């Protein structure tokens, strides 16, 4: 066997092992969601449930308003994603292709905001939202998220900078406005980056726990992570039902990733070599 074939075989074996390691937690989650409660913590652990308990899934709907939480998470995530992609692309285009005063310092300040942990600004945000009446409102979860996505701006800026300025100059000569140039010429060129920003926004907003946990009070406004947390008891928890709820909660993310996988991978790979 040649050295090249040996290296290819080693690479395949390594990838298979890494895939198994990465899929193991997902298998264990699904496996646990189908077990009898007493079987969850048995030693040694059982890799296949002795009895399939589909009632764990139906029990989730009996204990928490899972459908309502799913709807809340869906529409909050959808609005945040659309708003993030739109305003991040506008901001990135301005920083990449337009000239204005203090452009460099403003962009540096914008990037520095990415380095401040959310936990540090949590209390000031809570006081601000309390003063303007946004406590127990989904607006507090949507509006700040849309306008503070520094990562999306940074990624899209690299793509816009890689596009030749001749495209803009030619369009201006033909009488196009900046808005038409942005919408009809620039955005179609950065679709992979837009898809990547959208996927990151979906994951961040869908999985967010701390923000909704602090802001929301009414159970009918809770998102999926808070409702899953509500399944935990003070003295004991039904971990089979918790895993069942978690399994159902990640299905929308898997669907999004499957359909956006091509653009997502392309956007991530190209973002490191552009700009």
**pLDDT given at position 3:** 64
82: enclosing H helix or E strand: helix 66-97
d(CA 226, CA 171) in angstroms, rounded, equals 49
Average pLDDT over residues 149-168: 84
pLDDT in tens, 32-77: 888 888 888 888 888 888 888 888 898 889 888 999 999 999 999 9
Is 60 exceeded by the pLDDT of residue 193? yes
Q: What is the mean pLDDT of residues 165-186?
A: 84
Domain boundaries, the chain: 54-271
C-alpha dihedral, 121 to 122 to 127 to 131, nearest 10°: 100
Show contacts of 186-192: CB within 8 Å, 24+ apart. 186/93, 186/97, 186/160, 187/89, 189/159, 189/163, 190/89, 190/156, 190/159, 190/160, 190/163, 191/263, 192/159, 192/263, 192/264, 192/266, 192/267, 192/270
Query: Please, what CATH class does the domain formed by 54-271 belong to?
Result: mainly alpha
């Amino acid at each position: 066997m040649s050295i090249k074939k040996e290296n290819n075989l080693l690479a395949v074996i390594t990838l298979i092992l890494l895939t198994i390691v990465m899929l193991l937690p997902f298998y264990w989650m699904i496996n646990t969601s189908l077990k009898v409660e007493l079987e969850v913590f048995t030693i040694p652990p059982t890799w296949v449930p002795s009895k399939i308990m589909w009632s764990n899934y139906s029990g989730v709907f009996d204990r928490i308003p899972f459908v309502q939480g799913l709807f809340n998470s869906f529409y909050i995530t959808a609005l945040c994603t659309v708003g993030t992609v739109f305003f991040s692309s506008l901001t990135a285009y301005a920083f990449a292709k337009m000239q204005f005063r203090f452009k460099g310092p403003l962009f540096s300040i914008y990037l520095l905001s990415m380095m401040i942990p959310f936990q540090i600004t949590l209390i000031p945000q809570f006081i601000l939202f309390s003063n303007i009446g946004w406590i127990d409102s989904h607006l507090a979860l949507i509006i700040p998220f849309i306008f503070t996505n520094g990562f999306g701006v940074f990624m899209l800026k690299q793509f816009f900078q890689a596009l030749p300025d001749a495209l803009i100059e030619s369009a201006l000569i033909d009488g196009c406005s900046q808005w038409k140039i942005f919408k009809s010429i620039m955005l179609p060129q950065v679709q992979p980056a837009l898809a990547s920003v959208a996927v990151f926004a979906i994951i961040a907003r869908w999985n967010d726990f701390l923000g909704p946990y602090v802001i929301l009070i009414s159970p009918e406004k809770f998102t999926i992570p808070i409702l899953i947390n509500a399944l935990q008891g003070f003295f004991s928890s039904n971990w089979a039902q918790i895993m069942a709820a978690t399994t159902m909660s990640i299905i929308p993310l898997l669907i999004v990733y499957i359909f956006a996988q091509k653009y997502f991978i392309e956007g991530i790979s190209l973002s490191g070599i552009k700009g």
